[in-house]
Chains A and B, each alone.
Chain A
C-alpha cells in the first residue's frame, strides 16, 4: 500500500473505531457506577 493510503487507513481506524471503543468503555463504566449506586441505596 502507498504511504498516503496507509495514513488515511490509520486516521479512519483511530477516528472511527478508536472513538467507538472510548464511548463503549464509558458506557460500561457508567453502567457499573449506576449499579453500585443502586446497590448502596438498597442497603
Chain B
C-alpha cells in the first residue's frame, strides 16, 4: 500500500523535535562530569571549537543529505551511490542497539519518579539501587532471571513510546516535542534556581567553572571535547538525516542547525550549573570535598541525586519528581527519534505501511531489551554502551564524513543545496571543517579509544563478555549493514530521487 510520506507540521515543530532528539540523558549526567574532569571552566574553549569545527558542520551535512534525498539514511546514501546503502544500515543498527538499553534506563527513571514520593530509596540509595531495585547479580555471566520491577517500568515506557510513534511524525513525535521540550527547560531551570540557593552551591560552581588553562595543552582534553560534542548533538545515529527528510522543500537548513546545536549545548551548560550546585550542597552537608561526591551517569542519577534529595531541607519529594521527570522527558524525546530512523529505513526498504514498520521495529527492539531487564542487565548495558559509543558511533561518523567529503565528493553539492534555501549561507569554513578538521579529529579520537581499550581492560568484566557483547556487536553491525544492502527492496527501487545519481556517478 502506498502511503504519503510523513512531514513535519511546521518548522518550529521540526526544530523542537530535533532539540528533543539531541537533548538526552547524557546532557544532564555526562557533560557536567566531562567538563569537571577536563579543565573545569577552561574546557569551554575546546568545547566551543569542537562545536564550530565539528558539531555544527556535521549537523548541517546530515540535514542537507536527508533533505536533498528525502530518505532515511540507507536510501540517502544509496541515492548517491548504490554501493553505500550499508552505511545507513550500519547507523540504524547502532541506533537499534542503543535503543535496546536506553529504553530500560528510561524505565529506571520512571520507577524513580514513583520512588521520589516519600523518598522511598531510604537512607542508603546505593544499596537500594543495586540490590533492592536492580537485584544485581554477583558476576557478569550470572543472568539471574527477570527483575520484574524493571520489566514493568520498561513495559510502560515501551507502551508510551509505541503509542507516540504509531501516531506518526507530526501528530506523535512533533506533538510530544512541543509539549515536553518547553516543560523540560522549565523543570531544569527550577532545579538550577533551587540548586543555586542551597548552602555550598558556590563551592560546586567554583569546582566546575574555575579554569585550569594548563589542561587544554593535554590532547586528551580535546579528544573529550570532540567526543562530547559528537555524542551530545546526536550525529552519526542517522536521526538527523531522517528528521530533515520530513521537512518541506523550502526550509532554512543552516539556521535550524545552529538553533538545534546551540540549544543542546546551552542546555547542557545550564544542567551542569544545576548538577554542580547541588553536588556542592551535598559536599557541604557531608563535610566532604567535591572530589569525594562527584560522579556521572547512572551513579549520579540513581545514587548521588537520591542522597542530595535526602539532604534537602524541604520539598524533597517535589525536587525528586522534578529531577527524574526532567530525565524522563529528555529520555522519551530522544528515544522516539532513535527509533524513528529505523522505522523510516525499513518502511522505505520493504515498502511497509507506517504501522507495520513501527510494529516490526518496536517489537524486535522490545524483545532485545529484555536482556537488560534481567538481574545481570546492568553489566550487559555497561559493556554494550561502552563499545557502541566508542567504536560504533565514532567509526561510523568517520566513515560518513570521509565518504561524503573525499570518496563521493558531495560537499559542494550539499553546500549549494543548503545555500539555495538558507538565509545564513555556509562558506568554505564548512568545507574545510568537514574535509580536514573533522576526519583528523575523529581519527585521533578512534586512536585514543583503541589505545585505551587494548592497554586497559574495560571494567572488571570477563574477556569473554567484552568479546561477545562488545567487540562482537561492534563488528557485527557493519556486517548486518552489508546483508541488508544485499536484500532487494520490496519494489526493487529507491524512493530517493533528490540526489540525481545512479551507480557511482558524481554529481
Q: Do A and B come from one complex?
A: yes
Chain A residues close to B by CB (< 8 Å): 1-2, 4-9, 11-13, 15-17, 19-20, 23-24, 26-27, 30-31
What A residues does B263 contact at CB under 8 A? 20
Give the complex CA separation of A23 and B11 in angstroms: 14
- Beyond A5-B205, A5-B206, A8-B209, whether A23 also contacts B44 by CB under 8 A is no
Q: 25 A-B contacts, Cβ less than 8 Å apart?
A: A1-B202, A2-B206, A2-B210, A5-B40, A5-B41, A5-B210, A7-B41, A8-B42, A8-B209, A8-B211, A12-B269, A13-B269, A16-B266, A19-B262, A19-B266, A20-B262, A23-B255, A23-B258, A23-B259, A24-B259, A26-B255, A27-B11, A27-B252, A27-B256, A31-B11
Contact of A12 among B44, B210, B256, B259 (CB under 8 A): B44
B1 to chain A, nearest CB (A): 34
Give the complex CA separation of A27 and B19 in angstroms: 15
Q: Are A4 and B41 in contact (CB under 8 A)?
A: yes
Q: Are A30 and B259 in contact (CB under 8 A)?
A: no
Q: Which residue of chain B has the shortest Cβ distance to A19 in the bound complex?
A: B262
Contact of A20 among B44, B210, B211, B259 (CB under 8 A): B259
What B residues does A11 contact at CB under 8 A? 41, 44
Give the complex CA separation of A27 and B5 in angstroms: 26
Contact of A27 among B41, B210, B255, B273 (CB under 8 A): B255
Within 8 A of A (CB), among B257-285: 258-259, 262-263, 265-266, 269-270, 273
- The answer to whether B432 has its CB under 8 Å from any CB of chain A is no
- The answer to whether B424 has its CB under 8 Å from any CB of chain A is yes
Q: Are A16 and B265 in contact (CB under 8 A)?
A: yes
Q: Are A15 and B210 in contact (CB under 8 A)?
A: no
Most buried by A among B11, B41, B205, B208: B41
Most buried by B among A9, A13, A31: A9
What A residues does B262 contact at CB under 8 A? 16, 19-20, 23
- The answer to whether B423 has its CB under 8 Å from any CB of chain A is yes
- The answer to whether B48 has its CB under 8 Å from any CB of chain A is yes
**Interface SS of chain A:** helix
- Beyond A12-B269, A15-B48, A17-B266, whether A5 also contacts B259 by CB under 8 A is no
What B residues does A5 contact at CB under 8 A? 40-41, 205-206, 208-211
What A residues does B42 contact at CB under 8 A? 8
B381 to chain A, nearest CB (A): 31
Give the complex CA separation of A22 and B453 in angstroms: 42
Q: Are B265 and A26 in contact (CB under 8 A)?
A: no
What B residues does A26 contact at CB under 8 A? 255, 423-424
Give the complex CA separation of A13 and B206 in angstroms: 16
B260 to chain A, nearest CB (A): 10
A43 to chain B, nearest CB (A): 20
Given contacts A2-B206, A7-B41, A17-B270, 20 further A-B contacts (CB under 8 A): A1-B202, A1-B209, A5-B41, A5-B205, A5-B208, A5-B210, A6-B209, A9-B41, A11-B41, A13-B269, A15-B48, A20-B266, A23-B255, A23-B258, A26-B255, A26-B424, A27-B252, A30-B252, A30-B255, A30-B423
What B residues does A6 contact at CB under 8 A? 209
What B residues does A16 contact at CB under 8 A? 262, 265-266, 269
A2 to chain B, nearest CB (A): 6
Within 8 A of A (CB), among B355-390: none
Give the complex CA separation of A13 and B269 in angstroms: 8
What B residues does A1 contact at CB under 8 A? 202, 205-206, 209
Give the complex CA separation of A19 and B462 in angstroms: 47
**Contact indicator per residue, chain B 134-171, by CB within 8 Å of chain A (1) or not (0):** 00000000000000000000000000000000000000
A21 to chain B, nearest CB (A): 9
Give the complex CA separation of A12 and B205 in angstroms: 13
Give the complex CA separation of A27 and B252 in angstroms: 9
